Amino acid sequence: MNGDFKHVWRRLWSELWVPLAENRRHPELLFADIYRGLKRPPVPPVEPERPDEAAFDADGNLTARVAIAAFESYQRSLEEYQLARSNYDLAATGKGSRDALRNVVVGEVESELASLVCLSKTYTALVDLEEPELLVRFKRLVGEAIDTYNLGYRLVDPFILAPTVPGVISRLFQEMKRLSSLDAHLRQLCDEYEESCIDLSSDPTPGRIKNCIQKQFIFVEGVGKRTFNVNGTTLGAICDQVNLWPHVTLKEIGKKLYGFRSDYPGLGHAGNPDAVLREVDLKDFVALSCLLAGLYPYMHAQIDPAVLYRG
Please check whether residues 20 and 90 belong to one and the same domain. yes
Q: What tens digit of pLDDT does each residue of 212-228 get?
A: 999 999 999 999 988 77
Please check whether residues 131 and 18 belong to one and the same domain. yes
Please check whether residues 42 and 110 belong to one and the same domain. yes
Please check whether residues 195 and 259 belong to one and the same domain. yes
Inform me whether the pLDDT recorded for 2 exceeds 70.
no
Please check whether residues 85 and 174 belong to one and the same domain. no
The partner residues of 151 in beta bridges, in order of sequence, read 3
Please check whether residues 20 and 115 belong to one and the same domain. yes
pLDDT band at 310 (very low <50, low <70, confident <90, very high): confident
Please check whether residues 288 and 242 belong to one and the same domain. yes
Q: Which domain holds residue 183?
A: 168-310
- Among 148, 163, 178, identify where a domain stops: 163
Please check whether residues 91 and 114 belong to one and the same domain. yes
- Among 163, 190, 223, identify where a domain stops: 163
Structural domains in the chain (count): 2
Please check whether residues 60 and 123 belong to one and the same domain. yes
- Among 108, 140, 163, identify where a domain stops: 163
Q: What tens digit of pLDDT does each residue of 224-255 get?
A: 988 777 888 899 999 999 988 999 999 999 99
Q: What tens digit of pLDDT does each residue of 24-44 get?
A: 889 999 999 999 999 999 999
Please check whether residues 159 and 183 belong to one and the same domain. no
Inform me whether the pLDDT recorded for 3 exceeds 90.
no
pLDDT band at 262 (very low <50, low <70, confident <90, very high): very high
Please check whether residues 180 and 272 belong to one and the same domain. yes
Sign of CA dihedral 175, 176, 181, 182: positive
Please check whether residues 150 and 179 belong to one and the same domain. no
